[in-house]
Amino acid sequence: MAIRNVRKLGDETLETVCRPVKKMTDHLNELIDDMFDTMYDANGVGLAAPQVGVLRRIVVIDVTGEDPYVLINPEIIETEGEQENYEGCLSVPGKMGIVKRPARVKAKALDRNMEEFTLEGEELLARAICHELDHLDGVMYTTKVEGDLEDVNPPADDDEEDED
């Protein structure tokens, strides 16, 4: 397992629609492990494959630090309500902005064994699902920010950040 370089805003990879995964391979399993390592190392709560330069429909999410999810070929099948909150992104370091997202989201995806499952999330998990799935379609949260992006001071300690 390894820490991969996270692509930054302006990299064309982040604006490209990703291809579906047709079968699990050793390479993709290694990618998933590396994505978790990279996300945790950066104190993020989610990471999409294009953020590490791989144009495949793969997302990892863990909003609690103890509940990791792998979503392969995910799609949102249901939303409810609305929430408005700050959002950040590992591909846009040091910045945050207010984004409206659904308050509750239900998504279907494949797990590492290529078995279909559904994932329902509220608040931060709903936000993370929406944010990461946007990455798979080449959409950055910066296009959805209401108002201006704000500078964020890095935390003085190892506090968990609300970034993907």
Domains contained in the chain, CATH given? 12-151 (3.90.45.10)
Of the residues 12, 115, 120, 132, only one is catalytic, namely 132
**Residue 163 pLDDT level (bands cut at 50, 70, 90):** low
Interval 13-32: pLDDT, tens: 999 999 999 999 999 999 99
Would you call 30 a catalytic residue per the annotation? no
Mean of all residue pLDDT scores within the chain:
94
pTM comes to: 0.90
Tokens of 157: 């300690």
| Distance from C-alpha of 163 to C-alpha of 92, rounded to nearest angstrom | 9
Interval 65-105: pLDDT, tens: 999 999 999 999 999 999 999 999 999 999 999 999 999 99
